[in-house]
Amino acid sequence: MHLDGLLQVIGEFGTYQRRQYFLVCLVGLYAILPLLTTVFLAATPKHHCKLPADYVARAERIYGNLSREELLNLSIPWEENGGQLTRSSCKLYPWTRPNQTLTPYNETYSVPSVNETESIACPLGLEYSQDIYTSTVVSEFDLSCGREWMVGASQSAFFVGKMVGDAFTGTVSDRTTYSRSHGCFRFGRRPTFLVAVMFSASVGVVTALSPSMTVYIASLGLQGFVSGCVLLSIYTLGIEFVGPSKRKLAGFGIMYFFSFGYFYIVLFAYFIRDWRHLNLALLVPGYLFGLYYFVLPESFRWLLSRNRTEEAVDLIRAISRTNIKSEPDAETIQSVLEDEDEVVLSPRTHTPVDLLRTWRRAALTANVCFNWMVNSMVYYGLTLNLESLGGNLYLNFLLMGAIEYPGYTLALVLLDKIGRRRTLAASMVLGGVACIVSGSLPADLHWLILTLAVLGKMGISASFTIIYVVTAEVYPTVIRTIAMGMSSTFARVGSAVTPQVFLLKETIAALPFIILGVESILAGLLSLLLPETMCRDLPQNLEEFDNMLASPRVCKGTKLKETRRKTRNIRENIKTADNEWSDAKDSCLAHGNTTDI
């Protein structure tokens, strides 16, 4: 008996798996914190030049006692920002400027625009408002007025670290070497996760205590590395707990918890306005995941693949006792072990070169990797640059997280209705158009800008989920992991580039959104060239892969209807068989006979 066949007997997603899966989902919530917290850690408060003491002294000698507003009007020029006049954040009038006036700005008073001949850079640095934030990375390390690139550099460092961490996790979590007690090192999904999550909490403390921007950037790079280890190892562990018919649902479930992290972050950020305290409050509880050492088992699939059969059998028996109150007999267990031993691995070692050996494979791989890169750029571009949308940052962040739920749900429904390609293309085009229009609108249309940005986030959230499914289904079993790894690498490259793209807003405010929008539309149109996998059996080897690439790409007309009809018949047959098996199992259990189950 195959292991998946045994799971259908003892429960594909029974009580035991649901308990473990809930623990996994809690980690999914935690995994989003180190990255998205930077939205509030590095928020930019309102600021202006510090007023030199001699400015204030001279003004008071000439004009007498002055209010704070009058001093600012005398010392700081006005400039146009998004169609509105506001006080300059980075310029100061020289005291020798002619025609000084104390008249405050109003709709009838014409204020000259700022230019280099009548204003100077801040000689004493900046003064940051504490009306919203007590302290942020930007205000503490003075990262405005030409130093904004350091915030982008810290975000890019996180994604570069995450790219390295993803590759490292894939190697370490699958590794087995010699140990006296078990005949091998206890590497695997569980140890990798436990070590990584402890390091993540520790690096969070280092970040909160950073004495300089250099330490802050380095700590974020290290946090990205361990964050990649945490998410990939626990995601794999969660998927491997369940049976084949529940894997897609399990994958989406983790994504739902991932999105719940938005609500968790904004709750803490609203009440904790100091960046150091906020980082500690969010990441230090990660130490509690150390308790998983006592309650979270290793993947039984990994144990079997590493010939640790005794531990795997004990775990399978525990699952069976919890789910159906009985254990599979020794003969059934033995048949599972023999089936696992008989798995024939390909004698050939596959490499990333196999993704590019023919023109068709190279074109497909380039298309898929470009889609991953663009999805990541748009997703994190919209998420990490919410301040560009204006308005209340807390509300913007909350809406961006909430909209992911309908995005995921829409993708889940449409995948098997209209196909993978069309769902992916529609989602990415929607996200791209929304980005372009949102970035091009004048600043006074704030609610329309925010609505379109949220709509774009829904589209890109759906497409990010779909591209995972498409990549896993379009590549054959023998190179599927390699393809997923290469695609993920391109996604991290896109994430690392995104903060640099948004530095272009200093030149043209709408340019970053236009770039992301055009890329998203282009990627969506290119996705229509991908093979449609809804009507196909998944390829197992390179020969089937090449045949799929050479065959028609679309399931049309009667073929699509026939496929859907067959799918409905198969589901009805499975449902009937499940009912018959359930009745037979209940009958056997009622008579105390567990051997025939």
Question: 370 falls in which pLDDT band (50, 70, 90)?
Answer: very high
Is beta strand 120-121 parallel, antiparallel or unpaired with respect to 91-92?
A: antiparallel
Has residue 312 been placed in a domain? yes
Please state, as a whole number, how many other Cβ atoms lie within 10 Å of the Cβ of residue 100. 14
pLDDT at 178: 41
Which helix (H) or strand (E) covers residue 496, if one does?
Answer: helix 480-501
Q: What mean pLDDT is predicted for residues 392-412?
A: 90
Burial state string for 137-154 with b = 16 or more CB within 10 A and e = fewer than 16: bbbebebbbeebebbbbb
Question: 459 falls in which pLDDT band (50, 70, 90)?
Answer: very high
Check if the beta carbon of residue 474 is closer than 8 Å to that of residue 530.
yes
253 and 388 within one domain = no
Distance from C-alpha of 110 to C-alpha of 76, rounded to nearest angstrom:
15
pLDDT at 316: 84
Name the residue type at position 397: F
Has residue 141 been placed in a domain? no
**Of the residues 343, 363, 389, which one is the last residue of a structural domain?**
343
Q: Which residue has the higher pLDDT, 88 or 116?
A: 88
- What are the residues whose beta carbons fall under 8 Å from the beta carbon of 159, sequence distance 6 or more? 224, 380, 492, 495, 496, 498
563 and 547 within one domain = no
Instruction: Kindly report the average pLDDT of the chain as a whole number.
Output: 79
pLDDT at 147: 87
411 and 481 within one domain = yes
301 and 172 within one domain = yes
Check if the beta carbon of residue 151 is closer than 8 Å to that of residue 40.
no
pTM score of the predicted model: 0.78
Instruction: Give how many domains the chain has, as a whole number.
Output: 4
- What are the residues whose beta carbons fall under 8 Å from the beta carbon of 502, sequence distance 6 or more? 152, 381, 384, 385, 388, 512
Check if the beta carbon of residue 201 is closer than 8 Å to that of residue 286.
yes
**Of the residues 69, 94, 128, which one is the last residue of a structural domain?**
128
Look-up of token digits 């350091």: 150
Which ranges of 299-445 does DSSP label H, i.e. alpha helix?
A: 300-305, 309-324, 330-341, 359-384, 393-402, 404-414, 420-440
Q: Which domain holds residue 575?
A: 557-597
As a whole number of Å, the CA-based R_g of the chain is 29
pLDDT at 117: 46
Distance from C-alpha of 229 to C-alpha of 172, rounded to nearest angstrom:
9
Instruction: Select, from the ranges 198-202, 244-248, 495-499, 539-543, the one with the highest average predicted confidence (pLDDT).
Output: 198-202
281 and 385 within one domain = no
326 and 205 within one domain = yes
pLDDT at 577: 56
Strand partners, 274: 135
Centroid of chain to Cα 184: 34
pLDDT in tens, 299-337: 877 777 677 888 888 888 888 888 888 777 777 777 777
Please give the share of the chain, as a percent, with pLDDT higher than 70: 79
Please give the share of the chain, as a percent, with pLDDT higher than 90: 26
pLDDT at 516: 92
pLDDT at 83: 63
Distance from C-alpha of 371 to C-alpha of 353, rounded to nearest angstrom:
20
Has residue 596 been placed in a domain? yes
Q: What mean pLDDT is predicted for residues 409-415?
A: 85
Q: Which residue has the higher pLDDT, 281 or 66?
A: 281
Has residue 280 been placed in a domain? yes
pLDDT at 525: 94
Q: What mean pLDDT is predicted for residues 394-407?
A: 91
Q: Identify the weakest region by mean pLDDT among 351-355, 461-465, 494-498, 588-592.
A: 588-592
209 and 231 within one domain = yes
Which ranges of 107-246 does DSSP label H, i.e. alpha helix?
A: 137-141, 149-172, 189-208, 213-241
Check if the beta carbon of residue 75 is closer than 8 Å to that of residue 91.
no
Residue 54 pLDDT > 60: yes
pLDDT in tens, 22-45: 988 888 888 889 888 999 999 999
Has residue 137 been placed in a domain? no
Instruction: Show the tokens assigned to 4.
Output: 């998946």
pLDDT at 440: 86
Question: 179 falls in which pLDDT band (50, 70, 90)?
Answer: very low
Has residue 135 been placed in a domain? no
287 and 313 within one domain = yes
561 and 508 within one domain = no
Distance from C-alpha of 450 to C-alpha of 456, rounded to nearest angstrom:
10
What CATH number does residue 529 fall under?
A: 1.20.1250.20
Residue 595 pLDDT > 60: no
**Of the residues 84, 102, 128, which one is the last residue of a structural domain?**
128
Please state, as a whole number, how many other Cβ atoms lie within 10 Å of the Cβ of residue 126. 19
Has residue 37 been placed in a domain? yes
Question: 77 falls in which pLDDT band (50, 70, 90)?
Answer: confident
506 and 425 within one domain = yes
pLDDT at 593: 57
364 and 302 within one domain = no
- What are the residues whose beta carbons fall under 8 Å from the beta carbon of 394, sequence distance 6 or more? 266, 269, 270
Residues present in the chain in total: 597
pLDDT in tens, 428-445: 999 999 999 988 888 778
Residue 175 pLDDT > 60: no
Helix, strand counts (H, E) of the chain: 25, 6
pLDDT in tens, 243-269: 777 776 777 788 888 888 899 999 999
Distance from C-alpha of 282 to C-alpha of 207, rounded to nearest angstrom:
12
Instruction: Show the tokens assigned to 552.
Output: 């028609």
φ, ψ at 79 (rounded to 5°): -145, 155
574 and 496 within one domain = no
Residue 100 pLDDT > 60: no
Has residue 532 been placed in a domain? yes
Check if the beta carbon of residue 297 is closer than 8 Å to that of residue 190.
yes
Question: 576 falls in which pLDDT band (50, 70, 90)?
Answer: low
pLDDT at 415: 80
pLDDT at 180: 44
